[in-house]
Structures are given as structure tokens and as C-alpha cells.
Amino acid sequence: MKKLIIGGLSSLTLLFGTNSAISTASILEDNATVYDVEQLKLNMQHLIAFKRVNETTLEITNWVPRDLHNLVIVTKNSPKEKILEIDTLSGFSKQTYTIPYLGENATFDYLPQTDVQRKIKGLKTTWNITFPDRLLLEKKVRRADANVVWKPTRPQDVRYYLSFLINAAQSISTPKFHDFWTKTAFYDETCNIEPQYRLTKDEFNNYSKKERRQYKNIRSNCYYNKAHKEYIYNKLLHKTFTVGVTDGGGLGGGSTLGLNQSEVVEHLWDANSLGVKILERGDWFIKKANRKKVESRTPWKIFGHEAGHTLVKKGHQRNYCVNSENSFVSVGFLVYNYLTYKNEMIVTKETMVKRDLDWEGANSKPLRKYKRALKRGANKKRLNALIQKLHRPTARFAYEWGGVYGKHALLLPTKNSPEWYEYLKAHKEGKGLEYLRTLQ
């Protein structure tokens, strides 16, 4: 038995000293099936998740796309009892450990030992996140009024989308974001604001001179008060998001959060110094003259807009959704940009596991650029391989993909034949490709 002082909190008894996992399983590998992705469900408060397999076996899942070091596992009951020290819990992995029997009601947690662990523990968001694949719904997924379409949700996509969402949650959880949020002049163009949420003259007079300058006409009754800002902020903290991959723009409303693939992958690490200077001088708004210079196409830009649709109705009439000099999008961008630029995010370019560098580089260049490069004599074999990997046609129905993510050129069975229905059944289980190969 060992005694240990952890973080200056208390003296803990080490009940079980091993840090060797009896099994390790990687999750979200490239060869994961559609079914595997469909089963993925996580909560931002449980990015390090614990599951009792039996009385003496504990499974620990790390949903954070980076390795975590020096992890100390304790019981939640009081007094806390330290049961494990883990040297490295790999990113996107499940590790199983043998533990002593601690009773049927024992639950588990970790005591933060590093800055990264403290940032994860400090997340205020309780987002429930799933990645349902719209192309498995056997329904038409193209909207009649827009060019935005759903794409298949592949393991590669989930890895990048989770990296962004964890960093977005970190940005929203900072005191700076909340401070900027409460200072933002949120408005409704229709001026249809309930009396209890309408900014009054008395409240306005208590604002600082810098805050008051963001309001153009206080007499119009078109602005929200701080009570409403706090209501929407808390709504943002406790969202459920069904996340999907889109092409041609984004989609948002209710729990739906569709983010454009190229913006998440291509611009995940984008940040600029001008945005940092604006934040450091205490501004929560971006002047019109600077917006094009400052607002690069980070994933935040599309996230802020589409998440705004999930927060308020008729979002295009409110800057909880619409981007402007003074809005949810601009406030979030300044904080997100600052943390990215300063390399203070939970997930960074250097620490993200299972990155696909070819995909990142190729995804930032439209197909026409590849074709021009081929004409100039570029490496034809490599470019063609990337084109095939990344630029498949956009499907309108699940069956058009013909297997697991449509990564093959095998012929589909004749529609409505017995083989066709067998294929659809296998496809829903993520085994469509395997079944098609039996027909060739």
C-alpha cells in the first residue's frame, strides 16, 4: 500500500499499483464500418469515460484525439481512493484494467495532473454528441432549396470533427468568452422581443461607454437584455448535437449540426495575429474594415452560424446566428482564434493522433486544381490516387454509395432483386462491401 499526495488535495491510499492494461483497442480507425460510427455516443463531460465490465475489470475510453499522460484514477466516493496510475492513455483508445473489488456502487473519476487534463476537466459544456449517417436513412438527402448535401460520415471525418468540437467547447468554457458574450449587442431585426428579455433604458445606462457604442438605436426595442443573453448561453452549454458531414455549406436547427467538410479539415488549425491583437486590447467586436483580414475560414465560422440556428428560431434575423461585427460568430471566433494561435487548445496540430496529412493537404485544393496540376506534368499517379480518395461524387441516396463509404468500384446488384435486398441489409450493418465481393 502506498501513500501519495496528489495536487495538494489529500492523502490517498494506492489500492492497486499496476499501470499495465490487460487489453487495448484502438477506436475510429480508417477501416471502421458505418455501423461502428453509428454506435458512437459521447458526452463532453465524459471524454475520459469509465465502464465497469465486471466486479474487478474497468474499461477506460479516451475520446480525446491526443495521448494523455500521468493519469491518476480514483473512486468518486468519499473519501476518494486511488486505484490506478496510467503512464499513457492513448488518444482514441479503450484500455481495460484489472482493479480490486470495490463494491457494486463504486464509480470512477480522474484527478487532473497536467494542464491538458485540467482543461478537459474544466469544460462547462455538457454536449451529447452522435454522428448518425444520413446516407443510411434510405431517404433523399439533398435539399430542394439549396446546394448543401450530406456526405458519408467516415472515421476520418469523426476524428477531425471531434478535434474541432472539443476545442470549440474549450473556447465556450473560458471566462473570456462569457465576458464577451454578455457585452455583445444581441438584437432581433423584427423587434419582436418578449418584455422580460427586452433591453431597457435603465439597464443600458449601466453599461460602459464602450459597450453602449455597439447599440445603434436603443429606443427601437430590438435588443436583448443580459437575462436573455444568459439564457441562450446556458442553452449553448447544454446542447445535444447530431453532427453530420456536409458539402457546399452547413445545416443547423434543433439538434442537427452539419458542418462543411473542407472547412473543418482544411482550416482546423488556422489562426491570425490581428485577431489576437483585437482580443488582447479587450475588444469583443470586429470592425467592418478588419473583418476580411481577421476572419479566416476556421471551422468556427460555420459552427457559430449553424449552432446559432440550434439556439434561436428565425436565426437569420438575429445575430445569435448571423455573422456581423458584433455577434456570436465574431465573439467565438476571437476566443477560438486566440487559443489556437497561442497553441493553448486541448487538441493541437502537434498532439492530434491519427491525422491524415495527405487528406489535410489534398482537401484544401478543389478538384479543378488537381486537374490543372496534372496538365502541368505533376506526379500523375499520386494526384490521381488523392482524387479518387477525396473527391467522390455526392450521393443522394444511401444505395448510391455501394458499400462501406463507396470506396470501391464493384457493381451493385440489379435493383429490387433478391441480391439487392440482401445487399441493403448487409450495408446497414456496415458489411455491404463484403457482401458485394461474394457476388463478383
Q: Are residues 208 and 279 both part of a single domain?
A: yes
Q: Are residues 166 and 300 both part of a single domain?
A: yes
pLDDT of residue 385: 57
For residue 195, give the amino acid letter. Answer: P
pLDDT of residue 310: 93
> What residues of the chain score a pLDDT lower than 70?
1-19, 33-35, 135-147, 219, 296-297, 358-359, 361-412, 415, 428, 430, 432-433, 440
Show the domain range for 415: 402-440
Establish if 118 belongs to a structural domain.
no
β-strand pairing of 93-98 with 57-62: antiparallel
Q: Are residues 166 and 108 both part of a single domain?
A: no
Establish if 209 belongs to a structural domain.
yes
Q: Are residues 311 and 165 both part of a single domain?
A: yes
Q: Contact at 8 Å (CB) between 379 and 372? A: no
Of 308, 325, 341, which residue constitutes the final position of a domain? 341
Using alpha carbons, select from 273, 270, 279, 280 the residue that is nearest to residue 300. Answer: 270
Q: Dihedral, CA atoms, 356, 362, 365, 367, nearest 10 degrees? A: -130
Q: At 393, list the grid cell.
A: 461524387
Q: Are residues 31 and 176 both part of a single domain?
A: no
Q: Are residues 109 and 138 both part of a single domain?
A: no
Of 300, 315, 341, which residue constitutes the final position of a domain? 341
pLDDT of residue 183: 94
Q: Are residues 92 and 164 both part of a single domain?
A: no
pLDDT of residue 376: 64
β-strand pairing of 240-247 with 128-130: parallel
Q: Are residues 140 and 282 both part of a single domain?
A: yes
Q: At 287, list the grid cell.
A: 470592425
Phi, psi at residue 291, to the nearest 5°? Answer: -60, -45
CB neighbour list of residue 28: distance below 8 Å, 6 or more residues apart: 36, 37, 40, 92, 155, 158, 159, 354
User: b/e string for 171-182 if b means 16 or more Cβ within 10 A?
Assistant: bbbbebbbebbe
Angle at 277 between CA 274 and CA 281, to 5 degrees: 145
Q: Are residues 94 and 236 both part of a single domain?
A: no
Q: Are residues 93 and 170 both part of a single domain?
A: no
Establish if 120 belongs to a structural domain.
no
For residue 32, give the amino acid letter. Answer: A
Q: At 273, list the grid cell.
A: 495575429
Q: Are residues 75 and 145 both part of a single domain?
A: no
Its pTM surpasses 0.85: no
Specify the number of domains making up the chain.
3
Q: Contact at 8 Å (CB) between 359 and 372? A: no
